[in-house]
Chains A and B, each alone.
Chain A
Amino acid sequence: MIAPHLPALIVVVPLVAGLVALFLGRGHLPWLLTLLVTWAVFALSATLLGRVLVAGAPPVEYAMGSWPAPWGIVYRVDAVNAFVLTIVSGIAAVCAVFARLSVAAEIPAERWRFFYSAWLLCLTGLLGITITGDAFNLYVLLEIASLSTYTLVALGVQKDRRALTAAFRYLILGTVGATFLLLGIGHLYMKTGTLNMVDLADRLAGLQSDRVVLTAFALIVTGLGLKVALFPLHMWLPNAYTYAPSVVTAFLAATATKVGAYMTFRFLFTVFGLRVTFDFLSADVFLIGFSCLAILVASVLAIRQNNIKRLLAYSSVAQIGYIMLGLGLHNHASVTGAVVHVFNHAVMKGGLFLALGAVVYRLGGATIGELRGLGRRMPLTAAAIVVGGMGLVGVPATAGFISKWYLVAGCLHGDAWPLAVVILVGSILALLYVWRVVEALYFAVPENPSLPVREAPLALLVPTWVLIGASLYFGLHATFTVATAKAAAVALGVGE
């Protein structure tokens, strides 16, 4: 019974669980349900990915309510979304293990069920955005994900009251972005009379010089830019990531912007199509321009941060720059690099933020000062931060190296060697900000040596090292990720 309904179940199961969690009282039951559901969804997504990756297999389609495309809402899964689905649900599953202790330390007990409910609804939204083949459905699920994200960020208020202002700013900018997207979709519907993405792509084929379509393009790209936090539309991100509860930061940093990147891929490559986006509108010019600015400026900003959460948040803005750079170059190698970086960065940043969560669990904060001398006092956590940081720099044998390799190959393939230089400079800047952390960890004396600090508990260490270990594993054996990313690039219309 399950097999034909996989696409629907991936969204329906967390949705139902998110509501059931509200009824489970004030103990750890909501967490247990979240844990079970996220792992179940991960299993479902992985099965779906396996089915899509079979050579020559057509995209899996699922008609909601049996209303066929293009009239009804259709879920359509190809190599791209199956990969992103697996990333999102996998990260959610690992973070769910981490959540129990971390949430217990940072959020008062009477709010746990609301936290897990919002968490599951956020997961529903993110998975839904990824899986749906209907433009308006995408907007609705985007708002489900966003509204629950604002709540999750605001729940950090117990730790730092600035979580509220961060959530408010995120809400204003996030809503403006989503509304731009809604307007753009409206313009597309006005011109074509359809909302189904495949159908939209067919009908938009000859309309590239139509003014309504151009307006739609501008609105959608602006809206998506706000949602992915593409420089200079990233202003909401650093505060939201800094003041959110630790596990939320890890989850959001690894998934939310990745889903945004997926949406950008989907709209620019599938809906508008390569010819309209790049040949006719030359969108690559500003995409590449802003990406380079993101890589350079955000990395420089990251260097001068004292709060490590904020440092990594700025680093995220820079990493989004890498993904968008690969997207803008739109050749096979660069798109492969961008897709594989979606995976690699999710794993590395998720692991790094989880490690910081473990530090916050023991020390109550994660500034440079608190990290001083931690290399001896919390050796495993500190080692996780170092390995994750090496991934951000792109040291060989880490996952970050694989993505940068393909991105540089894409630059050279597109005869754009100055961009390869930008990637190189970005890596050097990354080395600088990672070095500041390493220096504090291993070469500095603790601020308060008499304070007893023990290694983080296993329940926090294991999920952290699962992600950090994955970033090492996929740095050494990149066959699976690269093959999937290549299949995704082909599904996006960028063949070899």
Chain B
Amino acid sequence: MEWFLQYHYNYLIYVVLMMIGLYGATAKPNLVKKVIALGMFQTAVFLFYISMAVKKGGTAPIYWEALREGQPYTNPLPHVLILTAIVVSVSTTAVALALVIAIKKEFGTVEADELGEFEEL
């Protein structure tokens, strides 16, 4: 356990962040808070991807001199992947906020419980 906390605390943080985000995205009644929580939820995943690739003392794989000397390097692929996911997350947030603005204009509120009166289930 101690070993886990010392070397893998980043995974712990990612799970905690993710759960906070998931809770907020589903349980918070305010739509803007939902969007913020969704952002947190996705950021937790970025943290997971980034920390999975990191190597202690690793360098970027474009420093040829260091690599020739046998220094270990960090796997760049997860970082590239997560760059794409970050862009996706930005787009999602943008679409979500645009929807919130449109909802505010149409209904005059961004509280889910007040909006609920308009919905049928």
A123 CB → nearest B CB, Å: 18
Select which of B48, B85, B99 is within 8 A of A168 by beta carbon.
B99
Select B99's contact among A140, A162, A171, A186, beta carbons within 8 Å.
A171
Residues of A with C-beta under 8 A to B81 = 136
The answer to whether A186 touches B48, judged by C-beta atoms less than 8 angstroms apart, is yes
A-B contact count (CB 8 A): 76
Given contacts A182-B45, A186-B49, A186-B78, contact A165 B92 (CB under 8 A): no
CB–CB A164/B106 < 8 A? yes
CB-based contact B48/A147 at 8 Å: no
Report if A147-B119 is in contact (Cβ < 8 Å); known contacts: A154-B102, A164-B103, A171-B99.
no
B115 in contact (CB, < 8 A) = yes
Whether A487 sits at the interface, judged by CB under 8 Å, is no
**A154/B99 in contact, CB under 8 A:** yes
Q: Are A179 and B45 in contact (CB under 8 A)?
A: yes
Let me know if B19 is at the binding interface, CB within 8 A. no
| Min CB–CB distance A298 → chain B (angstroms) | 13
Is A151 an interface residue when CB atoms closer than 8 A count as contact? yes
Q: Is the interface of B mostly helix, strand, loop or mixed?
A: helix
Is A189 interfacial (CB 8 A cutoff)?
A: yes
CA A274 – CA B99 in complex, angstroms?
41
Q: Considering the complex, give the chain B residue whose CB is closest to the CB of A143.
A: B88
Name which of B22, B31, B99, B107 has the most chain A CB atoms within 10 A of its CB.
B99
Asked if A176 CB lies within 8 Å of chain B CBs, one says: yes
When C-beta atoms are compared, the residue in chain B nearest to A151 turns out to be B95
Chain A nearest CB from B54 CB (Å) reads 12
Is residue A175 within 8 Å, beta carbon to beta carbon, of the partner chain? yes
Q: Are B88 and A140 in contact (CB under 8 A)?
A: yes
CB nearest neighbor in B for A310: B120
Contact segment of B34-42, B56-64, B65-73 = B34-42
Of the candidates B34, B92, B100, B106, the one whose C-beta lies within 8 Å of that of A147 is B92
In the docked arrangement, what's the CA distance between A168 and B31, Å? 9
Question: Are B91 and A147 in touch, CB under 8 angstroms?
Answer: yes
Distance of A404 Cα from B115 Cα, bound (Å): 40
* Alpha-carbon separation in the docked complex, A186 to B53 (Å): 11
B96 within 8 A of A: yes
Give the Cβ gap from B75 to chain A, nearest Cβ, in Å. Answer: 8
- Closest CB of chain B to A238's CB: distance in Å? 8
- A312 shortest CB reach to chain B, Å: 16
A172 at the interface (CB under 8 A from B): yes
| A82 at interface, CB cutoff 8 A | no
Q: Tell me which residues from 3 to 61 in chain B have a Cβ below 8 Å from any Cβ of chain A.
A: 18, 22, 25-26, 31, 34, 38, 41-42, 45, 48-49, 52
B45 touches A171 (CB 8 A): no
In the complex, what distance in Å separates the CA atom of A139 from the CA atom of B52?
Answer: 19
**In the bound complex, do residue A171 and residue B96 qualify as a contact, i.e. CB atoms below 8 Å apart?**
yes
Q: How many angstroms between the C-alpha atoms of A136 and B45 in the bound complex? A: 14
Q: A157-B106, A162-B118, A186-B45 are in contact. Are A171 and B88 (CB under 8 A)?
A: no
B99 near A167 with CB under 8 A, answer yes
Are B115 and A183 interface neighbours, CB within 8 A?
Answer: no
Q: Which residue of A lies closest to B37 (CB)?
A: A172
Q: What separation, in Å, do the CA atoms of A140 and B95 have in the docked complex? A: 16
Contact B102 A150 (CB under 8 A): no
Q: A28 at the A/B interface (Cβ < 8 Å)?
A: no
Give chain B residues whose Cβ lies under 8 Å from the Cβ of A172: 25-26, 34, 38, 96
Chain A residues with CB under 8 Å of B103's CB are 164-165, 168
Min Cβ gap B28→A in Å is 10
Q: Which of A140, A143, A176, A186 is in CB contact (< 8 Å) with B41? A: A176
Q: Is the CB of A168 within 8 A of B119?
A: no
For residue A132, give the distance in angstroms from its CB to the closest CB of chain B.
14
Q: Given A157-B102, A165-B118, A172-B26, check contact A183 B48 (CB 8 Å).
A: yes
B115 contacts across to A, CB distance below 8 A: 165
A282 to B107, CA, bound (A): 47
Q: Point out the residues of chain A lying under 8 angstroms from B91, CB to CB.
A: 143, 147
A168 B38 Cβ-Cβ under 8 A: no
A182 to B119, alpha carbons, bound, how many Å? 31
Q: What are the interface flags for A150-164 relative to B under an 8 Å C-beta threshold, 1 for contact and 0 otherwise?
A: 110010010001101
A287 to B45, CA, bound (A): 26
Interface contact B22-A168, CB-CB below 8 Å: no
| Contact between A161 and B45, CB atoms less than 8 A apart | no
Nearest chain A CB to B100's CB is how many angstroms away? 7
Q: Which of B79-109 contact A (CB under 8 A)?
A: 81, 84-85, 88, 91-92, 95-96, 99-100, 102-103, 106-107
B38 A150 Cβ-Cβ under 8 A: no
> Is the beta-carbon distance between B119 and A165 smaller than 8 angstroms?
yes
Task: Please give, as numbers and ranges, the residues of chain B lying within 8 Å of A425 by CB-CB distance.
Answer: none
CB contacts (< 8 Å) of B42 on chain A: these are 175, 179
Given that A157-B106, A172-B25, A179-B41 are contacting pairs, would A239 and B119 also be in contact in the complex, using a CB cutoff of 8 Å? yes
Is A190 in contact with chain B by the CB < 8 A criterion? yes
A41 to chain B, nearest CB (A): 24
CB pair B85–A150 under 8 Å, yes or no, is no
Q: How far is the CB of B105 from chain A (nearest CB, A)?
A: 9
- Given contact pairs A165-B107, A186-B48, A189-B78, a sample of 11 additional A-B residue pairs in the complex whose CB atoms are under 8 Å apart: A140-B88, A150-B95, A162-B118, A168-B100, A171-B95, A171-B99, A172-B26, A172-B34, A175-B92, A176-B38, A179-B41
